[in-house]
A = this chain, B = another copy of it.
Amino acid sequence: MAVIDVTLGVDIGGTNTKFGFVDSAGKCITEKSIPTNAHEPAENLIARLHENVDETMRPLAGAYVLRGIGIGAPNANFYRGTVENPPNLNWKGVVNVVALVRKYYDLPVAVTNDANAAALGEMLYGAAKGLKNFIVITLGTGVGSGIVSSGELVYGADGFAGEIGHTTVDPNGRECGCGGRGHLETYASATGICRTVGELLAIRRAESPLRNIAPADLTSKMIADAAGKGDPIAKEAFEYTGRILGMKLADSVAHLSPEAIILFGGLAAAGALIFDPTQRSLEEYLLSIFRNKVKLLPSGLTTGDTAVLGASALIWNEILKQRKQ
């Protein structure tokens, strides 16, 4: 039997670090999760990751061969191979994650943030297969974005391009975790829609089960469930969120003229509740030359952990580029 090439995808999160071996078609062979232990230094995590990966790889060794390691992490810089002051990890300053991993593996290793990893995952195995110009928007706790132009991820001058979540909706608007005001992330993220519900409950007099949930306990899933049952506050919150998201995505289209925008992550799981108002608003705000041209799509990554698939795509993308040359 032929030996199958795989890459290792690693997703470093604040709580857990997931990893899996992925073949060139995006099939995840096996997947595991270890605690990140965010209070420990990065060296410890990488040492434990190495042990666990080796242990998982051992029984697969005859059938699969590891070709490289792709890592998705918050505040990652692809150019420098670093993770810089990550918000949910107690890693001080700038950590060269690529160098740490290469102590154990003499293989190509690369790191990028989760939104860029998601974009590569969609391009290689998902909804953006065959597309050269598209944007992935991750609607999670925050709003991230990965931009692909002419088939290449846009990293910009310093590796930090693709921060659409921190574009300004309202210069006098909501306080953002980054210190700014009125950023897209404060409206269109899972936490943003919770803030919107808070505002709407203050403005409207309508009955709503959401009035019985403390703001700190509210989740976007609860709002989606309430909207599904016809709750007017929850429905209006999705309308409002989609309206703002669509307007700002029209700005992104004016910059980049993508073929498609892919909505990814927690809030995107609400389906039509978020897609419909976003699509309507996007079309309304688009410059006429772009109208009815830009597809708004859900993620096409359906098997296994999407973050692991995205991270693995970081290496597959490089391998496939080399094979073409």
B290-A160 in contact (CB<8A): yes
A251 within 8 A of B: yes
Q: Interface of A with B (CB < 8 Å)?
A: 132-133, 147, 149-150, 152, 154-164, 166-168, 171, 178-180, 247, 250-252, 254-259, 285, 287-290, 293
Which of these, B152, B178, B258, contacts A288 with CB under 8 Å?
B178
Q: Closest B residue to A289 by CB, please name it.
A: B160
Which residues of chain B come closer than 8 Å to A178, judged between CB atoms? 287-288
8 contacts between A and B (CB under 8 A): A158-B293, A160-B290, A162-B255, A163-B255, A167-B254, A168-B247, A168-B250, A171-B247
CA distance A179 to B154 in the complex (A): 31
Report B-chain residues with C-beta under 8 Å of the C-beta of A166.
Answer: 254, 287
Task: Tell whether, in the assembled complex, residue B288 and residue A167 are in contact, meaning their CB atoms are under 8 Å apart.
Answer: no
How far apart sit A10 and B266, CA to CA, in the bound complex (Å)?
51
Cross-interface CB contact of A257 among B149, B157, B251, B255, cutoff 8 Å: B157
Q: How many copies does the complex hold?
A: 2
Contact of A254 among B150, B157, B163, B290 (CB under 8 A): B163
Which applies to chain A's interface (DSSP): helix, strand, loop or mixed?
loop
A154 touches B285 (CB 8 A): no
Q: Is the CB of A132 within 8 A of B149?
A: no
Given known contacts A180-B285, A180-B287, A255 and B254 CB-to-CB distance under 8 angstroms:
no
Residue of B nearest to A178 (CB): B287
CA distance A158 to B289 in the complex (A): 9
- Report whether B157 and A293 are in contact in the complex, using a CB–CB cutoff of 8 Å: yes
Write the chain B residue with the least CB distance to A255: B255
Q: Residue on B with the closest CB to A166?
A: B287
Query: A179–B290 Cα gap in the complex (Å)?
Result: 13
Known: A149-B149, A171-B285, A285-B171. A254 touches B164 (CB 8 A): yes
> Which chain B residue has the least Cβ–Cβ distance from A158?
B257
For residue A158, which residues in chain B have a CB less than 8 angstroms away from its CB? Answer: 257, 289-290, 293
A62 CA / B285 CA spacing, docked (Å): 54
A109–B315 CA distance with the chains assembled, in angstroms: 38
Residues A157 and B133 in contact in the complex (CB < 8 Å), given A180-B287, A254-B164, A255-B256? yes
